[in-house]
Amino acid sequence: MAARLDAGLRWDREALLASPWFAAVHHLLARLPRERFPSLDDLNALARERGVRTGGDAPLTFVPVAALGKGLDSQYEVRVFRTGEVPTRTDGWHDLFNALVWLAFPRTKATLNRIHHDELVRRWGAQQRGTARDVLTLFDEGGVVVACAAPALARCLEDFQWKELFWTRRQEATEAMRFFVFGHAILEKSLAPYKGVTAKALVIDVAHEALALPPAALVALLDARAAEHFARPGALESTRAFQPLPVLGIPGWTWENEDPAYYDDENVFRSGRTRGRTPQR
C-alpha cells in the first residue's frame, strides 16, 4: 500500500521506497542517501556507473541550472543532446525525479531527447512546436509504462472499463499487469496525491514470464521496448496516442480503492473514446 509522503516535502527515502509510484526507480532510490536530499554528485555517480548517454551519445551529467540564452544551442533539449549536461535544481523534487527517470529509462529518455533535438533543428524559427514534440512532452511529464501479459485486460484499459479492470478482474490485473511511472510530473504528484491524477499510459505486451523478472530487469526490458516504440514512424502523429490512466485506480495504490464504490466516481473514471491498439511487441 502506498505510503503518504510528508506534505512539507521533507526528504523521506523510506516513504519513497514503500510507494508503488516509485517502483521503476526503487533500485536507484535505494542507492541514494537516507539522511539528506540527494546531491548532483550522488546522481552523477549513478549516471557514470550506469553509462547513461544522451540522444547525441554524450555522457550524461547533471549540472546546476544557469540562465539559458536565446539561440538554438542554448535550448534545453539541444544542450542535453550535444553536451550531455542536464540542468538540475539541487533542491527540487521535479528535477530530482527527472534525473531518476533518466537513470531508470536511459534508452527511452535518450530517444525522446534525440527526437526533440531533431525537431527543434528542423523547425527552428517556426511559431509552433509541432505535434511530435507535444506527444513527447506529454509522455515525458505524464507517462506510465504498463507491462501487460493479458490482451483482454489491455482492451479493458483501452475501452475505459475501469471497474471491470480494477475491481471485477482485480486479481487478474494484479497478476498480469505492472505499472511503472515514467513521467517526472506524475512522480511529483505523489507528494500530495489526489483521486483525479491521470497519467498517459503506453501499454507494452509482454510474456507472463517477463513479469517474474526482478523489477529492475523488467524496467530495463520495458525501457528498450518503449525506446523502440517512440523511434517508429507514426508513433508521434497524435497527442491522443496514449491511454488516459487514473493512477489511483490501480490496485494497491491507495487503500480507498479497496471499496468497489470508489470506481463509481464518473468525474474520475470516465467513459471515453474506444479505438483499436497496435500492440507494442
Give per-residue pLDDT as tens, 225-247.
999 999 998 999 998 889 999 99
Assigned C-alpha cell, 189 = 504528484
Residues 142/183, Cβ–Cβ less than 8 Å: yes
Instruction: Answer yes or no: is pLDDT of 72 > 90.
Output: no
Determine what percent of the chain is predicted with pLDDT higher than 90: 81
Per-residue confidence (pLDDT) for residue 277, from 0 to 100: 46
Q: Taking the model in full, what pTM does it have?
A: 0.92
For cell 539528506, the residue is 36
Mean pLDDT of 7-25: 89
d(CA 70, CA 60): 23
Residues 72/120, Cβ–Cβ less than 8 Å: yes
Instruction: Answer yes or no: is pLDDT of 2 > 50.
Output: no
Q: Side-chain half-sphere of 231: how many Cα atoms within 13 Å?
A: 14
Q: Side-chain half-sphere of 101: how many Cα atoms within 13 Å?
A: 30
Instruction: Answer yes or no: is pLDDT of 48 > 90.
Output: yes
Per-residue confidence (pLDDT) for residue 215, from 0 to 100: 95
Mean pLDDT of 55-68: 90
Reported confidence tier of residue 129, pLDDT bands at 50, 70, 90: confident
In sequence order, the 6+-apart residues with CB closer than 8 A to the CB of 261 are none
Per-residue confidence (pLDDT) for residue 43, from 0 to 100: 98
Q: Which of 202, 176, 167, 193 is nearest to 278 (CA)?
A: 202
Per-residue confidence (pLDDT) for residue 153, from 0 to 100: 98
Torsion, Cα of 68, 73, 79, 83 (10° steps): -130
For the residues of 251-262, what is the DSSP string, one character each? TTS-GGGGSGGG
Q: Which residue has the higher pLDDT, 10 or 35?
A: 35
